Amino acid sequence: MSNIKLILEYDGSRYNGWQRQTNTKNTIQGRIEHVLHLMTGEKIELHGAGRTDTGVHALGQVANFHTRNQMGLSEIEDYLHKYLPEDINLLDIREMPERFHSRLNAKGKNYLYRIWNHPFKKNIFNRGQYYHIRKPLNIEKMKQAAELFVGTKDFRSFTALKSKNKSTVRTISKIEILKKESEITLNFSGDGFLHKMVRVITGTIIQVGLGELSVSEVGEMFKKEKRSEAGFTAPPHALFLVKVIY
């Protein structure tokens, strides 16, 4: 039995997220598993490091699967390059120890959110990868708000997770906000992120940048522990899973 690790990039625009679902075949996990099934003749379960939402992209998603097939790594690589959809691409492949699990062994993740802050569109070809905000954003206020999220905290107000039994404590080590002309990027590093957590935090920071929320109001959101108290959920199309840390 071989344990194969894949590093993948994908454009999530036309998919219903990463996770396989019973009501649709249009998921990234499902599409890759189908190709692996055709390749090996086995029922393959692909484990992803992160369950990206509908419309979210990845620059470095990590996944692994077990197989009894005796194909070499170069043969698997050639097969996947040939048969994966054009918006899913294999970046790296290697064999791992039997117990390696892409999600359970992950120590952290990096995410990127892209904003185009200009009265006019960047261009029509990039519209699926940037969130276009016409009104000027106050970058300094956004940075002040971002600092409130750094550290080990309870992020219950900043997730769509409905379960009361699952811990919502996570550690964010850094949120870096960079501006280059009209392009603004938010770079997140942390040990793990809850359902829609990056997008809710991003939406909250954007509202501070627009003057719709104050920095002090963001601080109060942690105490209330209610999703309804936090900012809006930023659109998925501008979010990228950049890297998984092991």
Catalytic residue among 53, 78, 87, 191: 53
Side chain identity, residue 143: K
pLDDT in tens, 195-237: 999 999 999 999 999 999 999 999 999 999 899 999 999 999 9
User: Under DSSP, is residue 133 helix (H, G, I), strand (E, B) or coil?
Assistant: strand
pLDDT in tens, 177-195: 999 999 999 999 999 999 9
Please say whether the structural domain 108-245 has been given the CATH code 1.10.150.20. no
Listed in order, the ranges of the chain carrying CATH 3.30.70.660 are 108-245
pLDDT in tens, 52-88: 999 999 999 999 999 999 999 999 999 999 999 999 9
> Cα 93–78–45 angle (5° rounding)?
55
Looking at domain 2-96, which CATH architecture does it have?
2-Layer Sandwich (3.30)
Which has the minimum average pLDDT: 126-135, 145-154, 162-171?
162-171
pLDDT in tens, 154-172: 999 999 988 778 899 999 9
User: What is the model's pLDDT at position 25?
Assistant: 83
Sorted by sequence, the CB contacts under 8 Å of residue 241 that are 6+ apart come out as 50, 52, 56, 57, 58, 59, 60, 61, 109, 110, 111
Listed in order, the ranges of the chain carrying CATH 3.30.70.580 are 2-96
User: Is 53 assigned a catalytic role?
Assistant: yes
